[in-house]
Amino acid sequence: MDITIWGTGVTAQELFPLIDPTKVAVVAFFDNEPSRWGSRCHGVEILPPARLGDFRDLVMVIASRAFPQIARQLAKAGFPLEQALDYFSERSRVLEIVAGQTFLVRHYHTVVADRLSRTEERFTIERPVTESLPCPVPLEARVEVARRVGLAFLDARDAAKEVSSSKYRIGENWACVVAVSREPLYSAIKNQDWEKTVQLLDNYFRSDISSSMGSCAAAFQGFVRHADDAWLHHNLRVWDYSVGSHTPLTELAVPPVGNPYGFRVGGLLINADALLNHHRAHVVRRLLEGVRRPVVVEIGGGYGGFAYYLNGGPGSLTYLNFDIPESLVISSYFLSLLFPNKRIALYNYSTKAIDTGFLSAHDIVLMPNFVLPHLAEGIADVSLNTISMSEMEHATIEEYYRQIERTCRGYFYMENLACAPSYKGFPVDTFPKLSGFQEISRAVSRWVGWDAYAFGHTYLEQVFQRNNT
């Protein structure tokens, strides 16, 4: 098949080596830069746009960020736009055409005798995974876990009613999420129907129980209809560069708990959350380097995505999550199934002081938010909160900041809103000052959908360091 490429810059240089010459021949390059006309790129002539008409029957790959402008230019020249493919937004289609498959390329660099050596590895992006993925944990064990976490939930919900401080009450946003999406789960637990509880949690990612925390039924149905993977290429690269090419792709694999869906990449199931959460765990691990059996305290840990990657890594640590009981029950179920050999502490009425003694007896501590004041002073090496505080009441944010100041001796890692969204949400610049800490890094989120292009939904990644650590 003959094709043409628009652009001769870095993108074209990246694209060209990916082409399978047994399948595809590039017969012309186009460029708007007159000084390039007549010269060659990879042995193929660079032509002026005036020659477009000669190639109007061929597919053209636009290897440029300026697709909208180039498309206008093509339309004006009478070039059929359906023949023009945008390498950035249609990377899978382009790779299918030029290479016969779609893949992620990772590059490995070394210096040998003063010279840069570059090798590459390709990971095939095989297909969307939408078939059901059975949980490998036997049903009997799942029912027992559901019973344990369900009873802890009922205790925590009762105890929450007695908490006097309104700062620990569920806020407006989350009260709404809980009311509209989770009732079937809570009534199964309330009725102590553990089989039903298991059934619901085992299909977590494909139902509304995961609303605002991973997925929802409509998101899954949308994925079944059209599994858009433009973001995947981008985010896989973001992940690759962020964690470094020495990090094996296998670390990303999403475990088959809660019936997740996503893409099969290099034989592994990967989804957007995996990239974000693995990266966050990587950041936290770097902050913890050199600390013996560190303590990591998360506030609002969702279904446990970050905790999975953090706790699945090498070395020993203690992980704590403080969340509203309504969400904690979900992370408690997942983490109990995923880490059957870890010592997991769940809430009961007698849970009072969470101090060094308590922590030395546990690997994972999953507590309702109102227990946070019982966490010992200066115990956390890293505290973190992602995509969460912005959604709380302002008084709650203030209270959690005071708790972080009291309990964290190392770093506070945070990812929250940069801007005011369409729903009620507080941008980080409205958060109080974190006394005794210095902000050592602040960057716009690197992920598609959260970055500076995501108007109204842009997040900031910040790291604060305790003074004198």
Ligand X SMILES: C[S@@+](CC[C@H](N)C(=O)[O-])C[C@H]1O[C@@H](n2cnc3c(N)ncnc32)[C@H](O)[C@@H]1O
Binding site for ligand X (CB under 6 A): 170-171, 174, 212-213, 299-302, 305, 323-324, 327, 369, 386-388, 391-392, 396
**What 3-state class would DSSP assign to 464?**
strand
Least distance in Å: CB of 432 to ligand X?
16
Q: Where are the alpha helices (DSSP H) in 255-349?
A: 272-287, 305-311, 325-338
Selection from 18, 82, 28 nearest residue 55 by Cα? 28
Write out the two tokens for 91: 């990377």
Least distance in Å: CB of 174 to ligand X?
4
Q: What is the dihedral of CA 11, 16, 19, 20, to 10 degrees?
A: -160
* 167 within 8 A of 324, measured Cβ to Cβ: no
Residue placing its CB nearer to ligand X in the complex, 108 or 423:
423
Least distance in Å: CB of 368 to ligand X?
9
Residue placing its CB nearer to ligand X in the complex, 59 or 330:
330
Residue placing its CB nearer to ligand X in the complex, 70 or 276:
276
Residue placing its CB nearer to ligand X in the complex, 294 or 305:
305
**What 3-state class would DSSP assign to 118?**
strand
* Euclidean distance between CA atoms 267 and 253, whole angstroms: 9
Q: How many C-beta atoms lie closer than 10 Å to residue 464's C-beta?
A: 21
Residue placing its CB nearer to ligand X in the complex, 212 or 215:
212
Residue identified by tokens 């390709």 is: 122
Question: What are the Cα distances from residue 119, in Å, to 14, 20, 244?
Answer: 14, 18, 14
Least distance in Å: CB of 459 to ligand X?
10
* 323 within 8 A of 368, measured Cβ to Cβ: yes
Give every CB contact of residue 197 below 8 A, 6+ residues apart in sequence.
146, 150, 185, 188, 189
Selection from 155, 451, 327, 213 nearest residue 459 by Cα? 451
Residue placing its CB nearer to ligand X in the complex, 197 or 211:
211
Question: What are the Cα distances from residue 453, in Å, to 252, 266, 280, 449?
Answer: 25, 29, 21, 7
Residue placing its CB nearer to ligand X in the complex, 262 or 301:
301
Selection from 248, 172, 169, 261 nearest residue 214 by Cα? 261
Least distance in Å: CB of 387 to ligand X?
4
Residue placing its CB nearer to ligand X in the complex, 125 or 307:
307
Least distance in Å: CB of 277 to ligand X?
7
Residue placing its CB nearer to ligand X in the complex, 5 or 328:
328
Residue placing its CB nearer to ligand X in the complex, 102 or 390:
390
Give every CB contact of residue 328 below 8 A, 6+ residues apart in sequence.
152, 153, 156, 321, 347, 366, 367, 368
Selection from 54, 53, 46, 38 nearest residue 6 by Cα? 46
Selection from 302, 290, 360, 297 nearest residue 329 by Cα? 302
Cα 384 from chain centroid (whole Å): 15
Largest CA distance in the chain: 81
Residue identified by tokens 């770093």 is: 411
Residue placing its CB nearer to ligand X in the complex, 102 or 416:
416
Least distance in Å: CB of 462 to ligand X?
14
Cα torsion 350, 356, 360, 363: sign? positive
Residue placing its CB nearer to ligand X in the complex, 58 or 395:
395
